[in-house]
Chains A and B, each alone.
Chain A
Amino acid sequence: MSTKQSNTLSEEKLSKLTAICSATRKQIIQMVFDASSGHIGGSLGATELVVALYHHLMNHDPKNPNWSDRDRFVLSKGHCTPVLYATLANCGYFPIEDLKTFRRPGSHLQGHPYQPKTPGVEATTGALGIGFSTALGMALTAKNRGEQHKYYVICGDGEIQEGQIWEGAMFANKYKLNNVIGFVDRNYLQTDGNSEDIMPLDPLAPKWESFGWKVYEIDGHDLKEIIATVHDAKKSDSPVMIIANTVKGKGVSFMENAVGWHGGVPSKEDVEKALKELEHGI
């Protein structure tokens, strides 16, 4: 079991996490290329969030995935399985070779997370809004039992256009679910374009605040800031939403802020260029 509760991030740990992010991004590119389908842009954008959680913040034990005191993570923006599966494999929940089976018949790595099949996946998500409410139901149960672990959930910014999200926002406030720490992956891009053109979300922080949530706004690629914010969020007596400003497609020049990379599949040349950039920087 890993207990990773240090509040300050040493330079050594920071550079280790940075390297993990880079490696994870390469796996994301490779998985979507191998599968000829999948969601690269949102996965690259959420990499620091997922890596910070699994490789530093969360108490979890890949050798004992059902350990009752573990922190739980729910990827409510379920289409970003590449970043989740790469991370679960890197943590040791299943062999890294399994990533090659992503989206293939017979694989436990479905296009969207499927809890019954994949070790480490806590909830079946994909239909937007469902992961969020599922996490709240889990969190309410744990809170009523007096359990101390946390529930981390990442929603896409496009996702929170769903009415169900705001049902859940009310619900979490009613039951004072301060064991929930949510993230909105705020990259301003959804499938059909810029969120503010498709269905405006700004001003976003006051929306969550008015629903009774404690809100932080951070740079979603700054590992130090992510980690410091989560440590502070754990002290909250209300549910927490961290609005993480991110860049969709982060780390690959031609994918950054490009709406086409929501569900686009890279060519062989794209992959080579992307992997090179991830190795040496843009």
Chain B
Amino acid sequence: MEFKQTRQGYVDGLIEIADELPEMVVLDADVAKATQTLQFAKLYPDRFFNCGVQEQNMLTVAAGMALEGKIPFATTFGVFATCRAGDQLRNGIAYPRVNVKVAVTHCGITVGGDGASHQANEDLAITRSFPNMTILVPGDYEEAKLATKAAAKFNGPIYIRFGRDKYPVVPELQEGFEIGKSKQLRNGSDITIISTGILITEALKAYELLQEKEIAARVIHMPTIKPIDETAIVKAAKETKGIVTIEEHSIIGGLGEAVAGVVAENNPCPVRRVGMRDVFGESGQAQELLDKYRMRAKDIIVEVEKILA
């Protein structure tokens, strides 16, 4: 199995689309080596702006650039874009609906060693609550690249989320990305697993484990968190016995609650959420932390069995 970083997918997407979109520019807040935008800066120095450790200024400078016709990708870590600069994201970008892409890396528990201060597990909850925001969480390197290019061509504010670690390349995500659309990767009628971001790998593993137990799971990958693909969710609610969500994010305010909301209003069925259970993370290796905070295939199985019991 091949492993690649989604943040590398981000910068490769930027580089691939740079000549087609000459007004696209990239900003960073002194984490260009970590977010990988330094690679873009080397190729397009006139289109790269390092704002220093100034996330608040950077997001709003990007808003000003967008008002003058640029397509800015303001880049930093997820926790800084949404918490440190949450006001600027809300009042400077979402509210006036300026064409700024807020691209963030180092999201979720797999940030690893830096610990809870740097692990954005609340960013989806924050950005979902802002009107006008479109939220993308690609599942692997290639999808990160496709989503970046789609974001660049989309008119309006986008929050796009990448991780730090290397994650498996998922064959089904190599093409066909569309904003607002989910992808059904496995068909089944007993239970539905909906995942977002890099944890699609765990959802697919859970499918295999459930198959051994003769449980047919439907697996839906949801790289757009907002607007959420309601059609696919309602269909799953009608056609299977319940839904388990998995996300590298708090179970509060993220994918799980988005799915539960759609289900509750349209076709109530059991929904159980796998994710950070209202706790801050800690330092450790990405894989250790996914075990400790129970965001694995086996943790999906536990929730599936609760629904089917």
B-binding residues in A (CB < 8 A): 114-116, 122-124, 126-127, 129-130, 132-142, 144, 163-164, 167-168, 170-171, 174
Contacts and interface: CB of A to CB of B under 8 A. Distances in A.
A134 B61 CA distance: 5
Interface in B48-94: 49, 51-52, 54, 56-57, 59-70, 72, 87-88, 90-92
22 contacts: A115-B96, A116-B96, A123-B67, A124-B91, A127-B88, A134-B63, A136-B57, A136-B64, A137-B62, A137-B67, A138-B64, A140-B49, A141-B64, A141-B65, A163-B56, A164-B60, A167-B52, A167-B56, A167-B57, A170-B54, A171-B51, A171-B57
B57 to A, nearest CB: 4
Contacts of B51: 171
B199 to A, nearest CB: 34
A167 B54 contact: yes
Nearest to A74: B64
Contact of B46 (A116, A141, A144, A171): A144
Contact of B92 (A116, A130, A140): A130
A122 B96 contact: no
B96 A114 contact: yes
B97 A116 contact: yes
A124 B92 CA distance: 7
Contact of B88 (A126, A130, A138): A130
Nearest to B64: A137
Contact of B61 (A116, A126, A127, A171): A171
B96 A135 contact: no
A130 B89 CA distance: 10
B64 A123 contact: yes
B201 to A, nearest CB: 38
B91 A134 contact: no
Contacts of A163: 56
B95 A133 contact: no
Nearest to B25: A141
Give the size category of B's interface with A: 20 to 34
Nearest to B72: A137
A122 B98 CA distance: 12
B76 to A, nearest CB: 13
Contacts of B92: 124, 127, 130, 133-134
B96 A168 contact: no
A138 B56 contact: no
Contacts of A168: 57, 61
Given A130-B88, A142-B68, A136 B61 contact: yes
A130 B65 contact: no
A141 B88 CA distance: 19
Given A129-B56, A170-B54, A171-B51, A135 B64 contact: yes
Contacts of B54: 167, 170-171
A135 B63 CA distance: 9
Nearest to B69: A141
A174 B30 CA distance: 14
Contacts of B68: 137-138, 141-142
Contacts of A134: 60-61, 63-64, 67, 92
B44 to A, nearest CB: 13
Contacts of B57: 133, 136, 164, 167-168, 171
A126 B96 CA distance: 12
A134 B67 CA distance: 9
Interface string B234-268: 00000000000000000000000000000000000
B132 to A, nearest CB: 10
A10 to B, nearest CB: 35
Contacts of B61: 133-134, 136-137, 140, 168, 171
Contacts of B69: 141
A163 B61 CA distance: 15
A144 B45 CA distance: 13
B229 to A, nearest CB: 27
Contacts of A132: 60
A135 B64 CA distance: 6
A67 to B, nearest CB: 13
A118 B59 CA distance: 23
Contacts of B97: 116
Nearest to A142: B68
Contacts of A144: 46
B70 A141 contact: yes
A137 B60 contact: yes
Nearest 6 CB-CB pairs, A to B?
A137-B64, A133-B60, A137-B61, A167-B57, A124-B96, A138-B64
A52 to B, nearest CB: 23
A116 B93 CA distance: 12
A127 B87 contact: yes
